[in-house]
Amino acid sequence: MNHLSAIAIVIDLVLVLGLTGFFANANRLLGPHPVHEGDADIPFETGERPIDSAVDKMSVLYHRFAVLFVVFDVDLAFLMPWALCRGSLTGTLVVSMTVFTGLLFFMLAYFWRKGVLECR
Amino acid sequence: MGGLLAPQMILAAGILGVLGAGMAAFNPKFIKSLMVLAILGAFAIAFGARPGVGDALVSLDGIGFSWQLVFYAAALPLAFLMTAESEVAPALVLGSLLGLGLLAVSANLLMLFIGLELMSLPAYLLVARSRGGAKTAVEAAIKYFFAGGAAGGLYLLGLALYYFTQKTMSFAGAGSLGAEAGVALMGSAALFKVGAFPLHFWLPDVYEASDPELAGFLSTALKAGGILLLMRLAALSPAGPFARALPWFGAATMLFGAVLALRQERLQRLLAYSSMAHAGNIILGVGAWAALGATPGAAVAVFFYLAAYLFMNNGAFSFLKASGAKTRADLRGLGARSPKTASAFAVLLLALGGVPPTAGFLAKLLIFWEAFKAHLYAPLLLAALGALLALGYYLALLKDLYFEDAPAVEPQLEPGRGLAVLWTCAVPAAVLGVAPWILTYMSRLLAL
């Protein structure tokens, strides 16, 4: 490594640190200084005041619904490419996707029958 | 392709059927027999399949064919012995088997990963449901889950490295540094699954907290799955650093398992460490197989070990179920009290220890012979030392059975079902060792 490339690395470092430092603090340097008053600092500015802290224990029962939601949500993502190329579908594709959707319905029926969907 | 995946389709249909029967609130016994039927059907179809077909994602070679038979056969003791009061456990067993079946026919590293995850995820749940969902079982399942998750992460990291250098996810060999590193990372995931020495920490807890029949399934079917993964990866670069390290991993695992098993009082933990020692032997065999060029036909030694081990270990765990014995103290005087159960266990102990003329002896001999042919003298010596040490605890159990007086207060054991399975396992464990034609037959299957 010669001197030139060492200087280049130093220039690069200075540029990187300077630019990132500037962008990280640009708001504080150039932006308007907000006035903290009224409801400005509450998490959701919907006009509703929070009844409780958001960082709180929840019943583990909600976890079940969250997991079920994610399962069906991810499965539905598979339907997306199928719907996008609906014009050029072959018979095998239609059949396999119907089987897949049928499996989803089967799962939903299973969960329903087992009382997983009940709010207890 | 549909014909190739027929056993897997049977298993998938079995899952749906089992869940549907549970939805309609059928008798649990009916649901259980549905599961047994699905496994038997998958076994029969897999037995009738002919290797040599496939495409880029799935294909059936000799190894996949014979391993599939091991997987399905190893699930049968669990299927017969498990207590199923609902459809959940049967569906989980079938799901794990489906993953194993997919692992066997995978011809692509990504398909291998899908098989790996699908075989492991139901196993975590099965462990958590053991012993009525006891706290120890849940704790073990969480340990198992995190160990398995780490293994999955390692596999994906290795796969990314491999893909980065080879630009493909099919079995395309490895030559460059990046591909070798990828193979080593993926291989460490396989070593995690098998429970090889530095990555074994989850194994004793999981095997001890599971129901005995489930521990038998984990130590035979799932271990065979990990070994299959190991072989596929070792075959990617048979002369690479990972494949060359395998015999040493095997010897270390063998010694470590044997030494720790010597000190155990509780039987299921003892068998857990003993299964570690056996896994060490098999890993040594895989290393020797890779060193000899990783040809499918030469996998007979590893296959025979797994097949013999399937009977020996499932039998030993079904003895725990059938007799209700938990500690070594429970064994004292059992030879006099219930001679039928005890004699079958004695046969299995001799087979596990590798005493001629049992299957265990022939299996060890074949592995050691392969290692000898591959000039792996130092790991071979260590493994032989481990085999000697292992005799120490197997013969000690034999002594407990027959040559110790029963304690003054007879232990109150709860005998369970499993006597039939115990004998069904004990007989092949003895017979396979004196019937070499079975081996010729199997080698013909492998060479197909």
Contacts of A111 in chain B (CB under 8 A): none
Q: Which residues of A17-44 are buried (b: 16+ CB within 10 A; e: fewer)?
A: eeeeeeeeeeeeeeeeeeeeeeeeeeee
Provide, rounded to the nearest whole percent, the portion of chain A with pLDDT above 70. Answer: 88
Contacts of B98 in chain A (CB under 8 A): none
Locate B244 and state its tokens: 């060359």
Give the chain B residue nearest A104 (alpha carbons): B16
Whether residue B19 and residue A110 make contact (CB cut-off 8 A), yes or no, is yes
Which of B15, B23, B92 is the best residue to mutate to test the A interface, defined by the most A CB atoms within 10 Å of its own CB? B23
Give the chain B residue nearest A111 (alpha carbons): B23
Neighbours of A58 (CB within 10 A): 8
Contacts of A113 in chain B (CB under 8 A): 23
Neighbours of B17 (CB within 10 A): 19
Query: Rounded CA gap, B90 and B70, in Å?
Result: 19
Write the single-letter amino acid at B43.
F
Q: What is the pLDDT of residue B1?
A: 45
Instruction: Supply the Cα-derived Rg of chain A in whole angstroms.
Output: 27
Give the chain A residue nearest B18 (alpha carbons): A110
Query: Rounded CA gap, B214 and B124, in Å?
Result: 11
Contacts of A110 in chain B (CB under 8 A): 19-20, 22-23
Q: What is the pLDDT of residue B412?
A: 66
Query: Rounded CA gap, B263 and B209, in Å?
Result: 18
Where is average pLDDT lowest: A90-104, B45-59, B61-75, B149-163?
B45-59
| Long-range Cβ contact pairs of A41-46 (< 8 A, separation 24 or more) | none
Q: What is the pLDDT of residue A40?
A: 67
Instruction: Average the pLDDT over B20-37 and give the result.
Output: 91
Query: Does residue B5 have a pLDDT over 60?
Result: yes
B19 in contact with chain A, both atoms CB, cutoff 8 A: yes
Q: How confident is the model at residue B408 (pLDDT cuts 50, 70, 90)?
A: low
Q: What is the pLDDT of residue A85?
A: 83
Give the chain A residue nearest B21 (alpha carbons): A110
Q: Quick one: which of B305, B302, B419, B421 has its CA closest to B354? A: B305
Give the chain B residue nearest A102 (alpha carbons): B16
Whether residue A110 and residue B16 make contact (CB cut-off 8 A), yes or no, is no
Q: What is the pLDDT of residues B295-334, one digit of tens each?
A: 877 788 899 899 999 999 999 999 998 888 888 888 888 8
Question: Between residues B418 and B12, which one has the greater pLDDT?
Answer: B12
Q: What is the pLDDT of residues B246-274, one digit of tens each?
A: 999 999 999 999 999 998 989 999 999 99
Q: How confident is the model at residue B84 (pLDDT cuts 50, 70, 90)?
A: confident
B125 in contact with chain A, both atoms CB, cutoff 8 A: no
- Distances in whole angstroms, Cα of residue B140 to Cα of each of B117, B144, B316: 18, 6, 21
- Distances in whole angstroms, Cα of residue B227 to Cα of each of A89, B116, B282, B390: 41, 11, 8, 21
Helix locations, B403-435, DSSP H: 419-431
CA B335 to chain centre: 29
Give the chain A residue nearest B20 (alpha carbons): A110
Locate B386 and state its tokens: 């481990």
Contacts of A105 in chain B (CB under 8 A): none
Q: What is the pLDDT of residues B185-202, one digit of tens each?
A: 999 999 999 999 888 899
Contacts of B16 in chain A (CB under 8 A): 103, 106
Q: What is the pLDDT of residues B107-136, one digit of tens each?
A: 999 999 999 999 999 999 999 999 888 899
Q: What is the pLDDT of residues B380-405, one digit of tens each?
A: 999 999 999 999 999 999 998 888 87
Contacts of A109 in chain B (CB under 8 A): 23
Q: What is the pLDDT of residue B42?
A: 94
Where is average pLDDT lowest: A45-54, B366-375, B436-445?
B436-445
Q: Which residues of B112-134 are buried (b: 16+ CB within 10 A; e: fewer)?
A: bbebbbbbbbbbbbbbbbbeeee
B20 in contact with chain A, both atoms CB, cutoff 8 A: yes
Query: Rounded CA gap, B254 and A56, in Å?
Result: 49
Query: Rounded CA gap, B277 and B257, in Å?
Result: 5
In the three-class reduction of DSSP (H, G, I as helix; E, B as strand; rest coil), residue B106 is classed as strand
Instruction: Supply the Cα-derived Rg of chain B in whole angstroms.
Output: 21
Distance from CA of A12 to the nearest CA of B (A): 28
Is the Cβ–Cβ distance between B244 and B289 less than 8 Å?
A: no
Q: What is the pLDDT of residues B214-235, one digit of tens each?
A: 999 999 999 999 999 999 999 9
Distance from CA of A45 to the nearest CA of B (A): 40
Is the Cβ–Cβ distance between A116 and A64 less than 8 Å?
A: yes
Residue B224 φ then ψ, to 5°: -60, -35
**Torsion-angle region of B234 (φ positive above 0: left; ψ -120 to 50: alpha; else: beta):** alpha
Q: How confident is the model at residue A3 (pLDDT cuts 50, 70, 90)?
A: confident
HEC secondary structure over chain A: CCHHHHHHHHHHHHHHHHHHHHHHHHHHHHCCCCCCCCCCCCCCCCCCCCCCCCCCCCCCHHHHHHHHHHHHHHHHHCHHHHHHCHHHCCHHHHHHHHHHHHHHHHHHHHHHHCCCCCCC
Query: Does residue B443 have a pLDDT over 80?
Result: no
Give the chain B residue nearest A112 (alpha carbons): B23
In the three-class reduction of DSSP (H, G, I as helix; E, B as strand; rest coil), residue B123 is classed as helix
Whether residue A113 and residue B20 make contact (CB cut-off 8 A), yes or no, is no
In the three-class reduction of DSSP (H, G, I as helix; E, B as strand; rest coil), residue B327 is classed as strand
Query: Does residue B437 have a pLDDT over 80?
Result: no
Distance from CA of B83 to the nearest CA of A (A): 20
Distance from CA of A113 to the nearest CA of B (A): 6
Instruction: Average the pLDDT over A40-47 and give the result.
Output: 67
Q: What is the pLDDT of residue B13?
A: 94
Beta-bridge partner residues of B54: B59
B245 in contact with chain A, both atoms CB, cutoff 8 A: no
Contacts of A106 in chain B (CB under 8 A): 16, 19-20
Is the Cβ–Cβ distance between B92 and B35 less than 8 Å?
A: no
Q: What is the pLDDT of residues B128-158, one digit of tens each?
A: 999 888 899 999 999 999 999 999 999 999 9
CB pairs < 8 Å spanning A and B: 11
Query: Does residue A68 have a pLDDT over 50?
Result: yes
Query: Rounded CA gap, B157 and B168, in Å?
Result: 15
Contacts of A114 in chain B (CB under 8 A): 23
Instruction: Average the pLDDT over B37-53 and give the result.
Output: 87
